[in-house]
Every structure is written in C-alpha cells, then in structure tokens.
Amino acid sequence: MVQIAPSILSADFAKLGAEVRALEKAGADLIHLDVMDGHFVPNLTFGPMLVKAIRPYTTLPFDVHLMMTNPAPFIAEFARAGADMITVHLESDADIADLIALIKKEKKKAGISIRPKTSVSKLLPYLPMIDLVLVMSVEPGFGGQPFIKHSLEKIVELKALIGRKPVQISVDGGINNITAPACILAGADILVAGSYVFKHKLYERQIRQLKQSSEG
C-alpha cells in the first residue's frame, strides 16, 4: 500500500506538536518537513530547532526536505535534530555526491528531489547511492498549487530507471483523491500531501482516502 507523508507546511504552526501527534494517530506513515531558505525558493520556513522541538511528539520517520541553495552546512544539524531521511535538491549549488556522503555519514537515509522541469535522466549517476527520489509535481516554494500533469510521465520514466534498486519514489505537490490514483499507477511509493490532509481537519478520513487510492 502507498505511504502517506503529510507536509506540516500546511499545519497549524501554533500547535505543531499536537498536529504531529494527531497525524500519527490518523494513520500517517511519515512526516514531511519542508525547509526553505528564502533563496532557492522565494519562501522561508524553519530550521533544525523546530525539528528538534516536535521530534518527541511522534515516533513516525521525519523526511526533511531541504529546499536550499547550499544545504551542506545544515545536514548534520538536521540529522541530530531528529531527521530520519534528508532530501536535497539536484538543482542546488552543491556537489550532489558530497551531499549524499554527508547524509550517509550521519547514518541517515538520503533522498534527491527534482523540480518539474528537471529531467529524471540527470538522477542516473546517483540512484545507486540514495534511498528516495522526490518528484516535485508543482514548483517548490508554496503549498496549495495544482498538480502538473507531465509529472506522471516522469514517475513512469523514473520507475524504469530505478528497476530493482531499493529506491522509493515520492511525489509532492497537488496530491488529492484525483491525482493520487494516477501517481500510484505510474509507480509512486509515497505521496506527500499538505493542503488535502489539513484543509478539513479530518485527518484520518483524508489519509484513508489517499491510501484507498492504491486499492483500486
């Protein structure tokens, strides 16, 4: 069954600990944390201190998605704050192999994310080194954007490139009860959902609907 990773970017920041606890109770499989530096994307979110603050509220894995131009100096900090997986962008200014090595040095899972216009073929050299590819199905930076349809073709292509390698495919952006089944059919293992999970405050229902997409 597909895994659901609610993005706390859409949560109530005044009570994040309670929100994370509620997501675990509602059936979430992991928590997605969008870290934005105000440079790689035109938005600014939070740093390692927030990750550390909410870590005691859940046993679910944390996937920390670093939308940063230069994530290298922060990898160890996020790892020690409680990240279980650290995902960096292929389009960042840093050397990707070096970033993966830094993540693995902290004994964390490593992920690479790609923007909608980035070809999946550029991931090929790194697939043997990583645990996850995060396909952005919207332009990164803000929640609530509509799903970009050509993302489905990228997921199919990526699935073929991965083959039998132990690399999961995660999809982030515009995920709802309509787009989820198409992503799963294309080959997605994890769906990152922000607005869809949080907008009605009925977290269990929303997560269940997304998971049922894989049963059709």
Q: What is the pLDDT of residues 1-55, one digit of tens each?
A: 899 999 999 999 999 999 999 999 999 999 999 999 999 998 999 999 999 999 9
pLDDT computed for residue 182 by the predictor: 97
pLDDT of residue 181: 96
The yes-or-no verdict on residue 214 having pLDDT over 80 is no
| DSSP summary character for residue 184 | H
Quick check: is 34 catalytic?
Answer: yes
Backbone conformation region of residue 49, classed left if phi is above 0, alpha if psi is from -120 to 50, else beta: alpha
65-87 confidence digits (pLDDT tens): 999 999 999 999 999 999 999 99
Tokens representing residue 36 in the block = 């934005």
pTM for this predicted structure: 0.96
Average pLDDT over the chain, rounded to whole?
95
What's the pLDDT at 145?
A: 80
Q: What is the pLDDT of residue 201?
A: 84
All residues at 6 or more sequence positions from 6 whose CB lies less than 8 Å from its CB, including other chains:
23, 28, 31, 32, 192, 193, 194, 197, 198, 203, 207
Which of 91, 99, 95, 93 has the alpha carbon at shortest distance from 74?
99
Is 84 known to be catalytic?
A: no
Q: Look at residue 216 in the predicted model and tell me its pLDDT.
A: 58
Domains of the chain: 3-215 (3.20.20.70)
pLDDT above 70: residue 173:
yes
Residue 140 is predicted with a pLDDT of 85
Burial of 181 (0-12, 13-18, 19+ CB in 10 A): middle
34, 37, 131, 189: which one is catalytic?
Answer: 34
Q: Is residue 46 within 8 Å of residue 38, measured between CB atoms?
A: no
Q: Which pLDDT does position 1 carry in this prediction?
A: 87
pLDDT at 160: 97
CB 88, CB 64: distance < 8 Å: no
Using DSSP, state whether 112 is helix, strand or coil: strand
Sheet of 190-193: strand order equals 3-6, 190-193, 168-172, 132-136, 109-114, 85-89, 62-67, 31-36
Please compute the mean of the pLDDT values over residues 175-179 and round it to a whole number.
Answer: 95
55-64, 71-80, 101-110, 205-214: which range is least confident on average?
A: 205-214
Choosing from 63, 131, 172, 189, the catalytic residue is 172
Both structure tokens of 168: 């999961």
